[in-house]
Amino acid sequence: MLEINEIFGPTIQGEGKLVGTPSVFIRFGKCNFSCEGFGVEYETPSGIKKCACDTYYAVDTEYKDTWTKYKTYEEVVAKVDELISIYPYNYKIDIVITGGEPLLYWNKQEFQKLLEHYISAGHKVTIETNASLNLNFEHDYQKELLFSMSVKLSNSLEPLKKRVNINTLTSVLTNTKESYLKFVIGKDFLNDAKKEINQIISSIPKCDVYLMPLGDTADQINKNCEDVINMAIENGFKYCDRLHIRVWDNKRGV
């Protein structure tokens, strides 16, 4: 069973290495973290006030009833096909597997069939993950995946042991070609972020590191971006904007 919060697109990838690329997003429900430190306040369907990340509706199982349960990967492909029917038959749109934490489904057969289907058909497939869960690479198609690994720092308020999995980071970077790390950072967290990021990258194979400004409105992005750009320049990291937020703020499904 694949529990999917939403499938939307075509839109553009708003952040990371493939920013600007036309993509369809498949957002899985559930996460192994809650990242209360990200400070987004919301009220659950049963009326409890909580604080978490901006995709709380794909994380908090109180929203489970709003997720769609797909028994087979073909049902997911059929839904995506409806969305991309505007394209000529040979256009291969990028597929972004996101969440929540999609790697919670890594050991499910239908999840693997979904990945294999899109890789075999010639699509670029990105997995957006917190990279904290253990995973094995057993098939060649898995090595064609692009992992966009948003490793959480101490400002997420998740415990260090849980959020930094050096074995998984090493395994992904060794088995795939262009996978990378990305970190969302605000003005008030620059020094700690610098220390924590350097600690992580000193223990794993070399890869691109993208820094992105914190914020879920264009205004907040503007307030944070210059400091984050300077931090990228000073440390040899890459800066990446968050295009979807600049254009649509935190509106869902675009």
Query: Which residue's CB is nearer to ligand SF4, number 105 or number 123?
Result: 105
Query: Which residue's CB is nearer to ligand SF4, number 31 or number 173?
Result: 31
Query: Nearest approach, Cβ of 86 to ligand SF4 (angstroms)?
Result: 29
Q: Return the SS3 of 210.
A: strand
Query: Which residue's CB is nearer to ligand SF4, number 216 or number 241?
Result: 216
Query: Nearest approach, Cβ of 100 to ligand SF4 (angstroms)?
Result: 5
- Cα 95 to chain centroid distance, Å, stands at 12
Query: Which residue's CB is nearer to ligand SF4, number 9 or number 100?
Result: 100
Note the residues at the interface with ligand SF4 (CB under 6 A): 31, 33-35, 52-53, 55, 59, 99-101, 130, 152, 156
> 215: left (phi > 0), else alpha (psi -120 to 50), else beta?
left
Largest CA distance in the chain: 49
CB hemisphere CA count around 179 (13 angstroms): 28
Query: Nearest approach, Cβ of 88 to ligand SF4 (angstroms)?
Result: 34
| Separation of alpha carbons 38 and 52, rounded Å | 6
Handedness of CA 162, 163, 164, 169 (dihedral sign): positive
In whole angstroms, how large is the CA radius of gyration of the chain? 18
| Separation of alpha carbons 228 and 241, rounded Å | 10
Query: Nearest approach, Cβ of 164 to ligand SF4 (angstroms)?
Result: 12
Residue 124: CB atoms within 10 A of its CB come to 19
Query: Which residue's CB is nearer to ligand SF4, number 9 or number 99?
Result: 99
